[in-house]
Chains A and B, each alone.
Chain A
Amino acid sequence: MKISDLSVLNKFNKDNIIVEKLDTLINWSRANSQWYFQFGLACCAIEMMAAAGPRHDLDRFGAIPRASPRQSDVMIVAGTVTLKMAERVKRLYEQMSDPKYVISMGSCSNSGGPYWQHGYHVLKGVDLIIPVDVYVPGCPPRPEALIQGILELQKKIKLESSLGKEV
């Protein structure tokens, strides 16, 4: 199954009947409604806001900000994760309902970034406490880079199989 074949809409023919795996339908809906958790930790949050704004318009991909962890599917860790904040980030991740995904945005949350050697107070990569699906490099990444991260996550979600065996 190729990723390009996954657009269910293309499969409608004249009689408006579509035959497809249920997995495809579920993945199609999940991949195109990535409601992300609205919180930012540092300067990357500014770029995330720009990505959500009218010029870059993340809403095109079904990604809209939600202010509650219960309602969000994706956590965009946008910024420096200090040790004081790390426990809060972990708790918020645990409060999200499955299926949940994490995008690590920017150098700081990827690896500690500029704080990697002398930052006594910085967690050296958010993947030390929560599992990360997509890493977006940059310091901070441009909104286009974050959008590519969202699209990469879409590709990843579309390969999932929530009902049958793992693909």
Chain B
Amino acid sequence: MKIIDIFKLLNEKFSDSIEYLDDSCFVKASPSKWEDLAVFIKDNNKLKFDYLMCISSYDSGNKETYGVAYNFKSTSIGHELEIRIEITDKESIPSIAHLWGAADWHEREAYDMMGLKFDNHPNFKRILLPEDWSGYPLRKDFETPEYYRGMRIPKDKTYWE
């Protein structure tokens, strides 16, 4: 199925929470219905998205919204789908780790690097950085701290010159 056909199928049930732009190749969803939508695309006989390939997070650059992009594939049918969800700093996204096991670590990484919060995650904490790290490094407005636990982090060449 082409992405426009997938969108039409989804639109029958989730017309109030999804969005598709003509020039894009992804379906934009709102976080409120995301859990139902995820169950639908996994179990529907025409979709069968049994494989979550990747979760990417992105900073839209306007200091308000941060996004997460899910890439699904159906191993039996062969079609692919990208779903994006954009939230502000105060909102959170329902976790889909109970549906696709791959989402577990990917969601933790999205939290670690971009500060996106996921509800009902089985083990929600930082995955790569130390637990006491402050800030989310992949955000555009992230400033490297001067010190971490007493270790200085020089930021320019003057340290060597």
- Report which A residues bind B (CB closer than 8 A): 83-84, 86-87, 111, 116-117, 120-121, 123-124, 128-129
Q: Which of A120, A121, A123, A124 has the most CB of B within 10 A?
A: A120
Name B residues whose Cβ lies closer than 8 Å to a Cβ of A. Answer: 129-130, 137, 142, 144-145, 148-149, 151-157, 159-160
Taking a contact as CB atoms under 8 Å apart, the answer to whether B154 and A124 are in contact is yes
Say which residue of A83, A87, A111, A129 sits within 8 Å of B153 (CB atoms): A83
**Is the CB–CB distance between B160 and A111 below 8 Å?**
yes
Q: Are A87 and B149 in contact (CB under 8 A)?
A: yes
A116→B142 CA distance, assembly (Å)? 17
> 19 A–B contact pairs at CB < 8 A?
A83-B130, A84-B129, A84-B130, A86-B151, A87-B149, A116-B154, A117-B155, A117-B156, A117-B157, A120-B137, A120-B142, A120-B145, A121-B129, A123-B151, A123-B153, A124-B152, A124-B153, A128-B151, A128-B152
Contacts of B155 in A (CB 8 A): 117
Secondary structure class of chain B's binding surface, majority of residues: loop
The 6 closest A-B pairs by CB, nearest first: A120-B144, A84-B130, A83-B148, A124-B154, A120-B137, A86-B151
Give the nearest-CB partner of A112 in chain B.
Answer: B154
B-chain residues with CB within 8 Å of residue A86 when the two chains form the complex: 151
In the complex formed, the residue of A with least CB distance to B152 is A128
* B145 cross-chain contacts in A, Cβ below 8 A: 120
Question: Given B142, B151, B154, B156, which contacts A83 in the complex, CB threshold below 8 Å?
Answer: B151
A121 to B156, alpha carbons, bound, how many Å? 15
Cβ-defined contact, A129 with B160, below 8 A: no
Closest chain A residue, CB of each to CB of B159: A124
Task: Taking A120-B142, A129-B151 as given, write out 8 further A-B residue pairs in contact, using a Cβ cutoff of 8 Å, ordered by the A residue number.
Answer: A83-B151, A84-B130, A86-B151, A117-B155, A117-B157, A121-B137, A124-B152, A128-B151
